[in-house]
Structures are given as C-alpha cells and as structure tokens.
A and B are shown apart, each in its own frame.
Chain A
Amino acid sequence: MENNVKIQAKGLNFYYGNKLALKNIDLVAPGNKVTALIGPSGCGKSTFIRTLNRMNDVIPNTRVEGEVIIDGVNIYSPKVDVVELRRRVGMVFQKPNPFPKSIFDNIAYGLRINGMKDKRKVEQTVEKSLKEAALWDEVKDRLRDNAFSLSGGQQQRLCIARSLAVEPEVILFDEPCSAIDPIATAKIEDLIQKLKRSYTVVIVTHNMQQAARVSDYTAFLMLGELIEYGETPRIFTNPKNKLTED
C-alpha cells in the first residue's frame, strides 16, 4: 500500500470560524482503490472530502491547516492552480445536481469550459462518458431532452458521467446515494466498483453496509477525529477501537 499513495492528508485541521471541525487527520487514499469515510452525521466526513478538491475554499470564514498531498504535491501550496486541481479531482455531490440543460450539454459543459472546441471530439467524449457511467443505453435516443426529465438515480449517474468527461484522476463521492432509491443505489455501487480500475475513488457514506460493499479501505470518523483506519474487511470484522465496533 505504501508505494501506491495517491492522496495523503497530513495533520489536517479545518476550522469553520473558530470551530475546529477536523482535528489532526492523517489519512492515505491509495490509487485505483475505493476509500470509504464513515461516521455519524456531523462528524466531518463531508468536510474532509471537500478539502481534497479545495471545495471548501468557497465557504467564507473557513481555514485549513496541515497538508493534503496528491501525487506528491501539497494542494494547499500557493503554487497550485485550484481550477486545474478541481479538473483532476472530480466530485459528485450528495444531491444530484444536473444543470438545467440537455443531457448532452450537461456532459459537454465541462469539456467546453476546459476549451474543447472540436464538435466531433465533444460528441465522442460525451458518448464515452455516458457509457462509462452505464447510462448510455438509457439516454442515447434522448440526448437533447432536459436533464431534469431523468429519474433521480439517472440524474446522479449523469453527474458521474459529467465528472468523468473532463478526465479526472480522482473522483470524490459525497454521499452519492442518500437521495436515491435502493435499486438505483445498487447500480451506482456497481459503477463505483468498476470506476476504480481507472480512477482513485473516495466516498463518504453514512451507510455502513455500503462502505462494506464498495470499499477497499475504510476510515471511521467521529467528532472531527479519525478513530480508525484500515482495510475494509478488517475494520468491519475486527475493529481495534471500541467506538468503531459500536
């Protein structure tokens, strides 16, 4: 595992105003694996995942201490281009957030803002991303329809396809199934399993079973502290910490 480090948090503290929300987190997410963050609501798992693509930068009155190292570079160093970082580290949000555009334009949006002009290339990438997100067969005949006409689960896979289109290396999932029915959830879990072949995945979930099903490594957070971290089977069968067991 040590030679396959993609993301590493080192002594990470995070403040909302004066309130310390993450306390001295040390965590490693290995490449081409799924790392799950679990813990009770308000434990800081969403806050933590948002530090990995600096999405917390947009929240006023927040402060980060410590380092997040991706591919050997501290992403909080002033030399890092946040915009480029967010292209490399994609994110899928808790509630599906398709843009009020057509299905096609939702995927093409990321390509266009990143400067892809060639129409054929855009079309190819849209198709490839939708196939990768296992949505192509369901939408191939209605690419011009508004994305809101899709079901919740389809919308979430559309958002996944949208992240995949800009060719990230890491994909962050922030409770991607909390607003979706069980059948759609199963599809997305399936998808996450496949995605780790090409991407590094970090997923926040409040659902223990989900973490057990999809992840290779699991971190248990509580009240902003990392309680336990390890390979998923071990965390679930043989937790070292009493808190995790409960």
Chain B
Amino acid sequence: MKKKKIFEFVGFFALRVCVYFVLAVLLLFLYDIGSKGGGVISWEFLSEAPRRGMTEGGIFPAIVGTFLVTIVTSILAVPLGMFAAIYLNEYAKQTRLTRIIRLSIRNLSGVPSIVYGLFGVILFVNILRFGTSILSAGLTLGLMTLPWTITASEEALKAIPNSYREGALALGATKWQAIRTNVLPYALPGMLTGTILGLARAAGETAPIMFTGAAFYLPFLPQSLSDQFMALPYHLYVMATQHHSIAQVRPIAYGTALVLLLLIILMNMTVVIIRYRLRRVKKE
C-alpha cells in the first residue's frame, strides 16, 4: 500500500517537472526575444522602410509583404482545404484509393518546407511564369498549408456524431442539406482552428518564399501581385545571417523576430475568439 503511494507521488512529480521544464524554456525564449527586441519597437520601426543599407529605419515593407502573401495563401488553402476535407470525409467511398490519398496528404504535411520552395520555383515561377512574386510565394505557401487544412478539417468533421447526419437524413434531408445544415455549422470552429494555425505557420516560413518571391531589400512597397516583396521571416534571416554588419543590426533582427512572434500570437488569438463566439452562438 505504501509502495503504491510513493510510486504515485514520484510519478506525478515527474510529470509536473516535465511541464515546468517546458514552460521555463518557453518563458526564457520569450523573455530573450522580448527584452532584446522590445527596445527597438516604436511607431517609426513599424511604419517606416529600412534606411542606410538596412542599418536604420523600420520594417514596414516586410510587415506589408507578409500580410499580402498570407492573404494569397489563405485564398488558395482555406476553401480548397475545407472542400477537399468535406469530400473526403462525407462523400468519398472508403476504398483503397481514398486511403492512399489520405495517407499521401498526411505525408505531404511532413515534407520539409524547402522542398515546397523548390517545387514552387519550378511550377509557379518557371512553368506558369508568375515570376518571383507575391503570387508565386503565396501559392507555394498555400500548397504547403493545404495538407494541414485538409487534415484539420477532416478531423473536425469526424468529430461530429453520425447521429446528426442520420437524424437529418431520416427527416428527408438530402445529403448536402444534412451536411450544410447539421454538420458544417458544428464542425466549423474546429475547421477554422486548424486552418488558421496552418496559416500562422505559413506566415512564419522562410524557405518556401526565398526562392519564389521574397526580396533582400526593396525601396518601395509592392504594387501588384506580380511584384517581389519583403517578408518578416526572410527579413529576419537576412538580418541575422546575410547582412554586411550583422552585429550592428542585431537589435533590428530581434525587433523583427518580436513583431513576427506577436503577429502569429495575434493570429492564434483570433482562433480562440472565433471558437468562443461560434460556441456561444451554438448554445443560444
């Protein structure tokens, strides 16, 4: 009896230590970025272009670029991913072919982002002749995000009990009516969560955009989708490793990292808010 209790205590203690350790690493990381980047952030830093060989000025073009490219990404990945998931989960017969397709999609989400970058250069930049542009980079990131949105959306659909579907069908609903009115409304919070998390990941990617459209430095903002652009993650990469005086621009690199981090936290917060609101609507 006593042995059991000791075992219980040690077990719980070990689990707790794991949590604290993870938390500590995270906080240390946030503190490091926050303390070193916080001082640089000002209205000028956020609203002005880089100056003097990127040793002064702000990161406004990079914020705009990341914003624009994420919009292109979501236009490709969100509807396509959701509809593909609806088809896979609700309509497709569960044959060997669909199992292979599903497995392939899962595997695609594990492909390194640099590989997507290379594929984007070949498909969008060269074959489709979109050039190195916001369009090419956004579509490349969209392709990279698709497996995530499909998988997340499918999981969300799977979580809806079959009795909702059967109950609707038994009342004389068509299959699409049952899905649209009695499955999708309840799956949507989950679908959106997975999708926005995927987009947030895409917004922070460097490798897929460095070949397909992100620029080292541009003196002007992009005017159309076929222009090159600056982006936060790539700017950070440049400031941290490619700049001619890395030590001098270190604070700018930290500031960029902090802004990128805040942007992604903002996106994840949106997820929380959307879920909360949809859940409340459902309860009413």
Contacts and interface: CB of A to CB of B under 8 A. Distances in A.
A72 interface: no
Contact of A114 (B93, B169, B172): B172
Interface stretch (A38-46, A80-88, A132-140): A80-88
Contacts of B284: 102, 144
B231 to A, nearest CB: 41
Contacts of B94: 60
Say whether chain B's binding surface is mostly helix, strand, loop, or mixed.
helix
Nearest to A90: B170
Contacts of A163: 170-171
Interface stretch (A2-10, A12-20, A93-101, A227-235): A93-101
Interface residues of A, number: 28
Interface stretch (B58-66, B160-168, B208-216): B160-168
A55 B166 contact: yes
Contacts, number: 65
B282 interface: yes
Given A60-B94, A99-B182, A90 B166 contact: no
A91 B173 contact: no
11 contacts: A58-B165, A90-B171, A93-B163, A93-B170, A97-B163, A99-B164, A109-B181, A109-B182, A110-B173, A113-B172, A163-B171
A33 interface: no
B166 A166 contact: no
A81 to B, nearest CB: 10
Contacts of B168: 99, 109, 113
B53 to A, nearest CB: 59
Given A86-B172, A112-B181, 20 more contacts: A58-B165, A58-B166, A60-B93, A83-B174, A84-B172, A86-B171, A87-B171, A91-B170, A93-B167, A93-B170, A95-B163, A97-B161, A99-B167, A109-B171, A109-B182, A113-B171, A113-B173, A114-B172, A162-B171, A163-B170
